[in-house]
Every structure is written in C-alpha cells, then in structure tokens.
RNA sequence: GCUCGGAUGGUGGAAUUGGUAGACACGUUGGACUUAAAAUCCAAUGACCAUUGCGGUCGUGCGGGUUCAAGUCCCGCUCCGAGUACCA
C-alpha cells in the first residue's frame, strides 16, 4: 500500500460535509475575511479542468486565512438563468428549471470531489424566486429613483415631482434623456396623469424608451454592447442589426464619473481597470450650437476640438437622427431617404467592414457658423454614430482624418487653420505642436489657449459650453427570453406601472412553448396566466384582461447580468426573508475582500455590479461604495487540440511528418483522449469514435501516426476538453489542485498538459513516504537537527510570503524542495512533519488532514493555526550569505545577531564582486542594526 | 489605428525587484534495484570549445545607453497576445 488518495479523499470530504466544517458565522471574535468566486452558469457540459482554476486558488487562500485566524466567508452558488437551458427547452420541450437542476447536481458533485471549502449553507441560485424576488425589488428601486447631479447621488423620484410642481424642470440638475423638453411648473401641472408618468421616464434610473437596439434575429433578442464582439453576437456569432424597439434601459451613464473615479480606490488588475476606463470613455470638450438656416432649431454637436471651430467646412449627421427628416430640403428628399433606408438594412458587421468607403448624402440644408455666420452645408453619413455625443459632428477636415476623407471623397472644401503645417495628404491631428491660424480671435494661440478662449467665447454668446462626454451607453435591460427574471411591471394605457413591493416575487409563468409567439412577442406571451389584477392584487389569466382592473404584464425578462449584479451580498445573509441582506450581516461582512474571476467580465458583470452597488449605497442600503476590495483575474486554461490531416476528397490521413509543403491537406480535429503525450494517435480508438474514420487509411511514419497540435480555448466542440473527473480518478483531487497551481502564475493563460502532472503526483507520494516506509510508520519524536529546522523554517517563510502574494506556483515549488531535502536527510521527526503538514494543508487538504490525524492530533487540521517562521533557525553558517552592494559604499547582509565580526568580515570577503570593485579596501565602520540587518559602510 | 500586457533552455516556468540567470517540474539520456515490468532511487541535461584534469567563451527577441554590476532601469525597433474600434 502507498498513498491511497481515493480512500483519503472520500473520508475527508464526508467528514467536512458531516461536520459542516466550513460554515461561516455572522458573529465572531475573529477578524472577518470574505473570499468570493464568480459563480458559474451550470451548463450541460459539466466542468472541465479550466473551470476550477480560480476556485482552487480562492480555496487555497480561504484555507490559509482560516489557518491565520480569520472568520472566512467562502460561499458558492449558481448563476442559473441563461440562454443554453432555454435553447435546450426550445428543442426538447424540457422545462429549463429541470435541466438547470440536473446541471446543478452534476456541478455540485464535481465541485465536492475537488475538496473545496465552500459554505454550502449559503448557496444562492439566481433562478430561485426567493432570490430573484430581491433582483426585482432592486429593479423597482431603480425605477423609483433619479440621479441628482447636485447631490451627486440617486434620489427618490418623489423629490423630482416636488421640484416640477414648484419650478418645472429648468432648474433641475438631474441626469435625463437628451431629448427631454423643458417644461414650466404650470405645464407640469397641466399634464394628465399619463403625461406626467411619461415625462418622468426621462429621469428614472430604469426607464422604458423607444430605443435603437442591437437586434440579433437568430437569437431572437436584443443584446447589450458588451454582448457583441466584432459586430456579431458573443454567443453563437450571429449577425446583429439595428432596430427600434420599446425597451427597458438602465441609466448607468448617470454613474459614469463615479464608476471612473472609484477605480482609483480599488485593488484590481491595472489592465482590467484600463478596460473599464476605455469602456466608460471620458472625453473633455465642448458642446456647440449651430443655428439652422431658415429654421427655428439649432443643431448641437459635441467636439473635443473646439479650438478648430474656424476650420469647420461642413456638418455631418447620423442618418438615424429624427432631425434628418425635418431639415432635409425637398430637392434632396429622395436621395436622403434612400440612403437612410440603406444604412438601416446593413448589419453592424457590414458597416464595420467598410470603414474605408465613404458614404453620405447632402441634405440640401445649411447651418450658420456661430462666429463667422458662414453657411455650412449639412450632410448625413454613417461614419457618424447616432448614439455617441449628439449624433452630429462639426466636420473639420484639416484636423480630423475621417472628416478629411469625407471631404476629399465628396469634393468639399478643406480649410487649413494650422500654422506652418501641410495638409496636402492627410489631416493634421497632433495637438499642441503648432498654433492656430486663420481663425479670427484664435489666430496665434496654442491648443490649450485656444480651447480656453473659444469655450469662454461660446459660453458668452450662448452658443455652446465646455462639457464632458462619456462613451458609456445606457444598458438595455429587456430580453425577449423566457428563462430570466420577470420584470415586475404591468401596462395601463400603454404606460408601465410597477407592482407593489409586497407582491414580489413575480414568479415565472408556465408556458407550452419557449419560442416567441406567432405575433413575435417574447415567449412570456405564450403564458395563459400573465396579467395583473389590480383589485385582487394577483396574477390572473390573460383572458380576463379588461384594461380597467386587469392589465397585461411585461413580457420581457431581465438580462443575465441582473442577478449577478448583487448576489455577493445575498451570501452574507442567504436565508433572510425580510431583506435582500440584513443590515447587521452587511455591516459585519461589509465587502468582498478578495474576488476571483475571469477578465472576460470586465465590461459586463464587473461594471454593472459596481453600478448597482453605487446605487444601493446611495440609498444607504449597503455600507460601502465599492464591493470588491481586491480582484484577481485567473487566466484561462487552454486546450491543446489534436489534428489529423486528410487528403482532400479521399479517406487518407497523413501523419504530420509526412506532409510536404506542396501537399494540400485538411486538418480535422480528433478527440485529445485518443492522443498520448508523444502526440501519437490511438488509431483503433478513433475508428470506433466516429464513423468517418471507420474505414479510413492512416499513413504512418516510423510505425506511428503523429497528430498536429494547436492551443485554443477548451471547448466540447473542439474535442480538446480534459475532464477533472478523469484526473481525480487517476491522480486524486489533491494532485489536480496542486498541479493546476503549479502550471504557472494564476493570472496567466496557459495550455493544459496532462503529461506534467506526474511531477506533482510524485511529490505527494514522496511526502507520504516521509511518514511511511511501505506499511511501516517511520515517524519518531526525536529532536530534529538544526539543518532540518532550517529547511522547515525557510519553507514556512517562503510559503507564507507566496500565498500572501498569490504566487501559488512558486509556493508549490518551495514545498517540493522542502520535501526533497527532508527525504534526502531521512527526516521523520514529528516536530518537522507537523508544521510541514500545515503548510501543505491549503493545497492538498485531504492528504494534509489525513496525515495530521496520523500524527496523533486530537483536533482536525482545520482548527490549527499556521506555523510561524522562526528567524533564528534560518541562518547557521556564514558561507552563503547574500551580500549586496548598492553603489553607495554600503553592504547589506542578512545575518543572525549572534554572529561575531570576524564571521561577518569573512562573509563580505567571500564575495568576489565586492572585492573586485573595492580593490582590497577594508571596511571603515560596521553598523549593526538590531534585527538581523547589518550595514557596513566603507 | 488607439490602449494595455508580454518575449528567459526541447517544454511549463523561477530569479530576494539592480547583485552568482535558468530554481522547481516535465521531457530526454545513462545507471542502480528487478527474471521482467511497474514503482522507486541516483547521475547528466542552455549553447559552443576543451574534455589527459583543471577549465574557457557566448548566452534572457533586436540595436544602442546608464552602472563596479542590467533578464530587471532609459532610448529606438521587431514580433506575439488581450481589449477596443468610424467615439467627433
């Protein structure tokens, strides 16, 4: 018998479950520490070896913190609403709740087998009514608030109504739609109830509006900007077009500045913060109003270069703007309408594809320059985006390349306003390297001076002002889906009405079919019972709708990011039925101390959740403004796909070495399970695997068929998935945990390679043999030697330091070195093995628990404090001291205090680098600093 | 295009943040123990030259620079990865 990981792991997993070892208490004398993982979406494919990487790291840290005397909250749950379960339901008629439950069961089993120290008593599932009740509740709170710029926080909508009644909205300093008209108090009062409600939607933090959305026909739903990658849907890669629809949106733009500022206060990876900064996209510039000729309206543009105002030679509007219809000259009407229609038909991808082709059309109208009063032609062109700035740009061809290209293409004038710069070939976009020319009162000024001067001038004559613009768009919140949180709203006279808080949760109705209705309404339109009776205050059948007391309910559901925007607070108080999180629990746990997850959520979940956090903080419902103090992105574990090479049109496959450069071959993926570590293919296995290979001819090279390899994302469809179950079966969970950490730095993406796992497995076996020689226990209670103690305490120091700095790969190495050295010393003293076992405990908890028990300890290892390094053991001889010279004639030595000066001198003289430079000079003075550092000044 | 990362043996990766580059592990080669295999252990393993010893030279993507000392700092390139993309 040797290291019997199967028995050991089973035993301890059962022990932890039975004793609820990792249950966290909301009251404790100990300091608290909250370690959070991004909870998984339970997909049908189960976990592959890439998924647990972050969970392993967070588990190691959690266990370490417990050993360090912290009350650790380390929960887990499921982001269980989502598309795949719904698509499976569409195909099979199986209720998504059922498949979700099955998948969760499988996930739980896989997670348990890896020995994670989760507190499962706090499990959350976003698709459970007990949970989404509170998601709906937050939605209603958002509906009930607006963002006050003066207070710089969310305020109840009732306050806004009060202001409207007193003074209308002219003096209101709040975030609202760009199209919001100005009204007086009497106008507000003259509004009907319906009109008032409609007007308030311009201000509410979640609002219903006719919006241009990203429509994905294949998925049958709208997508948020972060769900589109390169112009196609993130999920499935389908085409995305623009479409106007009534949609719920979240006014995240109100929080743009605070979301930006908050980044400076949190310990998140710099790259991720940079991504969020770019996504928010703050730019400083000015608004400029251009009067339309023979028209009462003005066109407002946003520009970051108001200093180039005198270089404007035309104006371009986004074709989607309503204003376009209004101002088009009758002569140009046909051309403009044709162009607008064409743009709408094109998908986002097509539009992105021909960035180089200039397209556009003249509207036949003109605006007047605010200073020179020159006539400036108005064009439309799809290089101008409707949803950035005001959807209109003042075109300065000499200073902007796109304007330049547009001008060249349509033969529009280009006016050079830069002193001593040629614009023959391209626009001049450098700021600050020259001065402005031909620009009236700006002539001769630098970029900075011109900016200041022109903004002042614009403000003085009321035709513009300095302003800040953000790229961040409001987030569309409606999804035409079944498997999501119902939006707790019903429609009365076409106006959305919120359900009362006491009626939550509004639970998902049963439907026959999960597809949209024949009329194209979302799947909830299939429900027979989906109307709200305002008298009975309950959900009733659709047939009862009379628009007097019974009204239709909202058919859209919430997007995937709704539940994940606040779930981390639910863990603190998962069973509370009176509140989303109890005040006391929130005050105790306060915030997440360490959050682990992938960087792919940078502009999605991690931004939206910060937004909700700030909102709930404004309402005094949460204690902090940023919920995650520190965040670490774990890198993806990639798969190593295997390819065989088919000669086109044949059934012949060539071994990789046989392929000549001239050969045309088609690479075809085969399951990595049929390939060994030397890239040799199990031909018989492949033949049985798929019929296309059954009768195929495999051309061998030196008797074997070698496959080609390529590193890519691990996925079922690429046949490169390595299942953790197989690894656990073969090597055990402890080996898997340590190996995943050993693979490389936690933040780095790295390819999985099963071959290397034997090194880690050998290490655990070696560790086991420190206790046993075959069947015989070799542990004794004799005093360990100084050498053994030195090895141990060096390792304690390194392991502690490395875990604290999340350098788990070097930490595993340190443990390996330690065990190697102890093995060669034949060190079996329990005084060494006990602390060593504690060091191993976060990484290989099963084996450590077992050996701890074998050492005769009464308490389990989880209750024991981590060992501390005793510095006095660390240095015993003078020969190997690191000596460093820092250029200021000073040496730094790490020594223990009981050394005599002769020993120190010897240590210094041992260092040839120092000797060479010092040319034999001897130290003038010794400075002995208490505490092991000694400075020697020459 | 812009922004942010990165480049170290056959491979994954170390290097106290300016101080003996290549820790640890995989792989490879040789050896021990075995009838044999597995398991385990030992040795070698950056490249080149010398191997009748010792040794020597070159080496962290490329070219410069600072320094007694550079993988690490500065300047200029090349390549790779990620994010973003007509953002006015």
CA atom of A914 to C1′ atom of B48, Å: 30
How many angstroms separate the CA atoms of A391 and A322, rounded?
10
Residues 64-123 of A with CB under 7 A from strand B: none
A759: CB within 7 A of chain B nucleic strand = yes
Q: What is the pLDDT of residue A910?
A: 45
Q: What is the pLDDT of residue A632?
A: 94
A765: CB within 7 A of chain B nucleic strand = yes
Token pair for residue A863?
Answer: 């209750």
How many angstroms separate the CA atoms of A893 and A935, rounded?
7
Q: What is the pLDDT of residue A881?
A: 36
Nearest to A668 by CA among A688, A694, A648, A685: A648
Q: What is the pLDDT of residue A703?
A: 75
**Minimum CA–C1' distance nucleotide for A802:** B16
pLDDT digits (tens, 9 = 90+) for A601-657: 999 999 999 999 999 999 999 999 999 999 999 998 888 888 888 888 888 888 877
> Which residue is nearest to the C1' sugar atom of B81, using CA?
A749
CA atom of A823 to C1′ atom of B32, Å: 18
Crossing angle of the two packed helices A757-769 and A724-731, in degrees rounded to 10: 30
Nearest to A637 by CA among A556, A531, A745: A745
How many angstroms separate the CA atoms of A226 and A240, rounded?
13
Residue A320 or A234, more confident: A320
A269: CB within 7 A of chain B nucleic strand = no
CA atom of A887 to C1′ atom of B67, Å: 9
Coil vs helix vs strand at A792: helix
Alpha carbon dihedral A347, A349, A354, A358, in 10-degree steps, equals 40
CA atom of A398 to C1′ atom of B88, Å: 13
Residues 507-526 of A with CB under 7 A from strand B: none
pLDDT digits (tens, 9 = 90+) for A297-323: 899 999 999 999 999 999 999 988 888
- pLDDT band for position A919 (cuts 50, 70, 90): very low
Crossing angle of the two packed helices A830-840 and A786-804, in degrees rounded to 10: 10
| Bridge partners for A289 per DSSP | A300
**Minimum CA–C1' distance nucleotide for A911:** B20
Q: Under a CB-based contact definition with an 8 Å cutoff, are residues A642 and A672 in contact?
A: yes
Token pair for residue A106?
Answer: 């499988």
- pLDDT band for position A907 (cuts 50, 70, 90): very low
**Minimum CA–C1' distance nucleotide for A471:** B87
Q: Under a CB-based contact definition with an 8 Å cutoff, are residues A633 and A598 in contact?
A: yes
Q: What is the pLDDT of residue A355?
A: 65
CA atom of A816 to C1′ atom of B21, Å: 21
A351: CB within 7 A of chain B nucleic strand = yes
DSSP A685: H
Residues with Cβ within 8 Å of residue A844, at least 6 apart in sequence: A734, A735, A737, A738, A764
pLDDT at A873 > cutoff 70 = yes
Q: Under a CB-based contact definition with an 8 Å cutoff, are residues A792 and A836 in contact?
A: yes
pLDDT at A912 > cutoff 60 = no
pLDDT digits (tens, 9 = 90+) for A815-836: 999 999 998 888 889 999 999 9
pLDDT at A737 > cutoff 80 = yes
How many angstroms separate the CA atoms of A393 and A396, rounded?
9
**Minimum CA–C1' distance nucleotide for A386:** B87
CA atom of A724 to C1′ atom of B29, Å: 33
A702: CB within 7 A of chain B nucleic strand = no
**Minimum CA–C1' distance nucleotide for A824:** B41
pLDDT at A900 > cutoff 50 = no
pLDDT digits (tens, 9 = 90+) for A347-371: 776 776 666 678 899 999 999 999 9
**Minimum CA–C1' distance nucleotide for A355:** B86
CA atom of A836 to C1′ atom of B81, Å: 39
A384: CB within 7 A of chain B nucleic strand = yes
- pLDDT band for position A925 (cuts 50, 70, 90): very low
Token pair for residue A647?
Answer: 């000669």
- pLDDT band for position A342 (cuts 50, 70, 90): confident
Q: Positive or negative, the Cα torsion across A586, A587, A589, A595?
A: positive
Q: Under a CB-based contact definition with an 8 Å cutoff, are residues A33 and A71 in contact?
A: yes
Q: What is the pLDDT of residue A931?
A: 25
Q: Under a CB-based contact definition with an 8 Å cutoff, are residues A144 and A615 in contact?
A: no
CA atom of A887 to C1′ atom of B19, Å: 11
pLDDT at A854 > cutoff 50 = yes
**Total-model pTM:** 0.91
**Minimum CA–C1' distance nucleotide for A807:** B14
How many angstroms separate the CA atoms of A721 and A727, rounded?
12
pLDDT at A56 > cutoff 90 = yes
Average pLDDT estimate for A48-73: 94
pLDDT digits (tens, 9 = 90+) for A840-851: 999 999 999 999
CA atom of A754 to C1′ atom of B82, Å: 26
A304: CB within 7 A of chain B nucleic strand = yes
A649: CB within 7 A of chain B nucleic strand = no
**Minimum CA–C1' distance nucleotide for A677:** B27
Q: What is the pLDDT of residue A216?
A: 84
A275: CB within 7 A of chain B nucleic strand = yes
Residues 280-299 of A with CB under 7 A from strand B: 281, 283, 285
**Minimum CA–C1' distance nucleotide for A229:** B84
- pLDDT band for position A1 (cuts 50, 70, 90): low
A933: CB within 7 A of chain B nucleic strand = no
Alpha carbon dihedral A900, A904, A910, A915, in 10-degree steps, equals -140
pLDDT digits (tens, 9 = 90+) for A528-571: 999 999 999 999 999 999 999 999 999 999 999 999 999 999 99
pLDDT at A932 > cutoff 90 = no
Q: Strand B positions with any atom < 7 Å from protein CB? A: 3-5, 11-16, 18-20, 23-28, 39-42, 67-69, 81-88
**Minimum CA–C1' distance nucleotide for A600:** B83
pLDDT at A246 > cutoff 80 = yes
A662: CB within 7 A of chain B nucleic strand = no
Exposure string for A182-196, b = 16+ CB within 10 A, e = fewer: ebeeeebeeeeeeee
A353: CB within 7 A of chain B nucleic strand = no
Crossing angle of the two packed helices A808-824 and A786-804, in degrees rounded to 10: 170
CA atom of A912 to C1′ atom of B59, Å: 22
Average pLDDT estimate for A146-159: 96
CA atom of A758 to C1′ atom of B54, Å: 39
A440: CB within 7 A of chain B nucleic strand = no
**Minimum CA–C1' distance nucleotide for A757:** B26
A600: CB within 7 A of chain B nucleic strand = yes
pLDDT digits (tens, 9 = 90+) for A15-32: 999 999 999 999 999 999
Burial status of residue A261 (CB atoms within 10 A of its CB: 0-12, 13-18, 19 or more): exposed
Q: What is the pLDDT of residue A847?
A: 96
CA atom of A763 to C1′ atom of B32, Å: 21
CA distances from A219 to A34, A87, A209, A675 (A): 37, 9, 22, 36
Alpha helices in A521-674 (DSSP H): 561-564, 567-570, 583-589, 605-618
Q: What is the pLDDT of residue A353?
A: 67
CA atom of A77 to C1′ atom of B14, Å: 36
pLDDT digits (tens, 9 = 90+) for A452-501: 999 999 999 999 999 999 999 888 899 999 999 999 999 998 899 999 99
Token pair for residue A352?
Answer: 């992105």
Nearest to A417 by CA among A311, A296, A571: A311
Q: What is the pLDDT of residue A354?
A: 67
pLDDT digits (tens, 9 = 90+) for A677-729: 777 888 888 888 888 888 888 888 777 788 888 888 888 888 888 899 999 99
E strand or H helix at A138: helix A129-143
- pLDDT band for position A893 (cuts 50, 70, 90): very low
Burial status of residue A53 (CB atoms within 10 A of its CB: 0-12, 13-18, 19 or more): buried
A890: CB within 7 A of chain B nucleic strand = no
Q: Under a CB-based contact definition with an 8 Å cutoff, are residues A708 and A642 in contact?
A: yes
A764: CB within 7 A of chain B nucleic strand = no
Q: What is the pLDDT of residue A204?
A: 96
Beta strands A361-368 and A375-380, pairing class? antiparallel
Mean pLDDT of chain A, nearest integer: 87
- Provide the residue count of chain A: 938
Nearest to A40 by CA among A124, A121, A114, A102: A124
A346: CB within 7 A of chain B nucleic strand = no
How many angstroms separate the CA atoms of A671 and A668, rounded?
10
How many angstroms separate the CA atoms of A395 and A413, rounded?
11
Q: What is the pLDDT of residue A144?
A: 96
> Which residue is nearest to the C1' sugar atom of B41, using CA?
A824
pLDDT at A914 > cutoff 70 = no
- pLDDT band for position A661 (cuts 50, 70, 90): low
CA atom of A789 to C1′ atom of B82, Å: 45
Q: Which residue has the tokens 């976990």?
A: A47
How many angstroms separate the CA atoms of A67 and A841, rounded?
9
Residues 809-868 of A with CB under 7 A from strand B: 809-810, 812-813, 816-817, 820, 823-824
């Amino acid at each position: 018998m040797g290291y019997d990981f199967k028995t050991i792991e089973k035993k301890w997993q059962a022990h932890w479950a039975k004793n609820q070892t990792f249950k966290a208490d909301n009251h404790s004398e100990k300091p608290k520490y909250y370690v959070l993982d991004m909870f998984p979406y339970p997909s049908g494919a189960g976990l592959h070896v890439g998924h647990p990487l972050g969970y392993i790291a967070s588990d190691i840290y959690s266990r370490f913190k417990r050993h360090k005397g912290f009350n650790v909250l380390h929960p887990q749950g499921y982001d269980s609403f989502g598309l795949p379960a719904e698509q499976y339901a569409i195909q099979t008629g199986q209720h998504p709740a059922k498949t979700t439950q099955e998948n969760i069961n499988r996930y739980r089993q896989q997670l348990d087998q890896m020995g994670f120290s989760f507190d499962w008593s706090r499990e959350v599932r976003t698709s459970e009514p007990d949970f989404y009740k509170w998601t709906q509740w937050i939605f209603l709170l958002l509906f009930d608030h607006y963002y006050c710029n003066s207070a710089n926080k969310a305020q109840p909508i009732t306050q806004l109504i009060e202001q409207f009644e007193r003074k209308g909205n002219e003096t209101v300093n709040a975030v609202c739609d760009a199209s919001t008209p100005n009204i007086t108090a009497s106008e507000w009062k003259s509004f009907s109830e319906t009109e008032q409600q409609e007007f308030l939607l311009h201000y509410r933090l979640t609002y219903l509006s006719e919006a241009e959305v990203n429509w994905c026909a294949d998925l049958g739903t709208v997508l948020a900007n972060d769900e589109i990658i390169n112009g196609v849907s993130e999920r499935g890669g389908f085409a995305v077009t623009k479409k106007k629809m009534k949609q719920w949106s979240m006014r995240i733009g109100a929080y743009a500045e605070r979301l930006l500022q908050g980044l400076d206060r949190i310990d998140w990876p710099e790259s991720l913060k940079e991504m969020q900064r770019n996504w928010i996209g703050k730019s400083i510039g000015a608004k400029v109003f251009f009067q339309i000729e023979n028209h009462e309206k003005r066109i407002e543009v946003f520009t970051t270069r108001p200093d180039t105002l005198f270089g404007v030679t035309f104006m371009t509007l986004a074709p989607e703007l309503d204003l376009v219809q209004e101002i088009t000259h009758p002569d140009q009407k046909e051309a403009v309408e044709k162009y607008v229609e064409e743009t709408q038909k094109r998908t986002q991808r097509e539009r992105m594809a021909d960035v180089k082709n200039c397209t556009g059309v003249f509207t036949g109208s003109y605006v007047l320059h605010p200073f020179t009063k020159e006539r400036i032609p108005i064009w439309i062109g799809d290089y101008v985006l409707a949803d950035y700035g005001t959807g209109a740009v003042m075109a300065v061809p000499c200073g902007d390349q796109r304007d330049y290209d547009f001008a060249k293409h349509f033969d529009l004038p280009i006016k050079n306003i830069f002193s001593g710069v040629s614009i023959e070939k391209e626009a001049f976009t450098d700021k600050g390297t020259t001065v402005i020319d031909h620009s009236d009162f700006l002539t001769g000024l630098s970029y900075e001076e011109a900016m200041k001067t022109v903004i002042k001038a614009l403000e003085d004559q009321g035709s513009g002002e300095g302003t800040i613009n953000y790229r961040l768009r409001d987030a569309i919140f409606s999804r035409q889906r079944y498997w999501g949180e119902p939006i707790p709203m019903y429609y009365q006279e076409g106006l959305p009405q919120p359900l009362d808080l006491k009626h939550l949760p509004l639970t998902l109705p049963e439907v026959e079919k999960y597809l949209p209705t024949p009329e194209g309404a979302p799947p909830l339109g299939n429900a027979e019972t989906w109307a709200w009776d305002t008298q009975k205050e309950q959900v009733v059948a659709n047939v009862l709708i009379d628009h007097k007391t019974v009204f239709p309910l909202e058919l859209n559901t919430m997007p995937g990011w709704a539940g994940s925007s606040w779930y981390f607070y639910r863990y603190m108080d998962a069973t509370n039925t009176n509140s989303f999180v109890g005040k006391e629990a929130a005050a105790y746990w306060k915030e997440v101390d360490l959050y682990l997850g992938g960087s792919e959520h940078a502009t999605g979940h991690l931004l939206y959740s910060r937004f909700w956090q700030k909102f709930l903080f404004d309402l005094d419902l949460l204690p902090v403004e940023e919920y995650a103090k520190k965040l670490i992105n774990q890198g993806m574990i990639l798969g190593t796909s295997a390819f065989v090479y088919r000669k086109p049109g044949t059934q012949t496959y060539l071994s990789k070495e046989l392929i000549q450069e001239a050969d045309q071959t088609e690479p075809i993926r085969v399951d990595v399970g049929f390939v060994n570590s030397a890239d040799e293919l199990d031909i018989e296995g492949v033949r049985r695997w798929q019929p296309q290979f059954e009768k195929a001819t495999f051309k061998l090279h030196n008797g074997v068929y070698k496959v080609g390899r390529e590193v890519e994302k691990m996925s079922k469809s690429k046949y490169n998935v390595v299942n953790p179950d197989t690894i656990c079966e073969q090597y055990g969970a402890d080996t898997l945990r340590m190996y995943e950490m050993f693979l490389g730095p936690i933040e780095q993406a790295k390819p999985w390679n099963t071959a290397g796992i034997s090194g880690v497995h050998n290490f655990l076996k070696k560790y086991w043999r420190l206790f046993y020689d075959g069947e015989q226990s070799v542990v004794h209670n004799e005093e360990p030697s100084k050498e053994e103690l030195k090895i141990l305490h060096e390792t304690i120091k390194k392991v502690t330091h490395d875990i604290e700095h999340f350098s788990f790969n070097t930490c595993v190495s340190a443990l390996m070195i330690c065990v190697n050295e102890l093995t060669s010393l034949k060190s079996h003293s329990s005084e060494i093995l006990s602390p060593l076992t504690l060091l191993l405990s976060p990484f290989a908890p099963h084996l450590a628990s077992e050996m701890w028990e074998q050492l005769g300890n009464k308490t389990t290892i989880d209750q024991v404090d981590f060992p501390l390094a005793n510095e006095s053991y660390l240095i015993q001889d003078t020969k190997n001291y690191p000596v460093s010279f820092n250029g200021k004639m000073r040496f730094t030595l790490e020594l223990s205090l009981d050394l005599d000066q002769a020993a120190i001198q010897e240590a210094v003289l041992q260092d040839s680098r120092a000797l060479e430079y010092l040319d034999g000079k001897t130290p003038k003075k010794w400075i002995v600093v208490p505490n092991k550092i000694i400075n020697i000044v020459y």
